[in-house]
Amino acid sequence: MVSSSGTEYRALMAAVGAVCALAAVASVVPVVEHIVAAALVALGLGWLAVAVVRRERRIRARIADPRTRPKPVAGGRVPALRAGSGVDAPVSPALTDHTPTPTGGA
């Protein structure tokens, strides 16, 4: 066992004991169950908010990092980060305007 395993074990067992104690109290006092459920929902929403903020900060840091910016290619054009609709994508062979096409009949 690692030297910190004892501390981790005690913390884990304290958490399990606290959950068991809350369950015992909730079986007698139903209000405790609602409080614990609300606390768990708040904890989950808080975790989600932290995850979203951390992801946003990571994306902004990557955009601001000059090492991740695309380098100019020949002709001075900076390539797009990814190909999308109409960006570095081949032109569709279908007609794109709505002008009438000559039919050659009349």
In a domain, 23, yes or no: no
> Can you give the pLDDT at residue 45?
97
> Can you give the pLDDT at residue 49?
97
> How much is the pTM?
0.47
> Can you give the pLDDT at residue 96?
52
Element (H or E) spanning 17, and its range?
Answer: helix 5-28
In a domain, 92, yes or no: no
Instruction: Compute the distance between CA of residue 2 and CA of residue 55 in angstroms, rounded to an integer.
Output: 33
Element (H or E) spanning 54, and its range?
Answer: helix 30-64
In a domain, 84, yes or no: no
In a domain, 101, yes or no: no
In a domain, 39, yes or no: yes
Residues of the chain with pLDDT under 70: 1-4, 69-106
> Can you give the pLDDT at residue 4?
62
In a domain, 56, yes or no: yes
In a domain, 47, yes or no: yes
Number of domains in the chain: 1
| Range of the structural domain that residue 67 is part of | 30-72
> Can you give the pLDDT at residue 62?
85
In a domain, 41, yes or no: yes
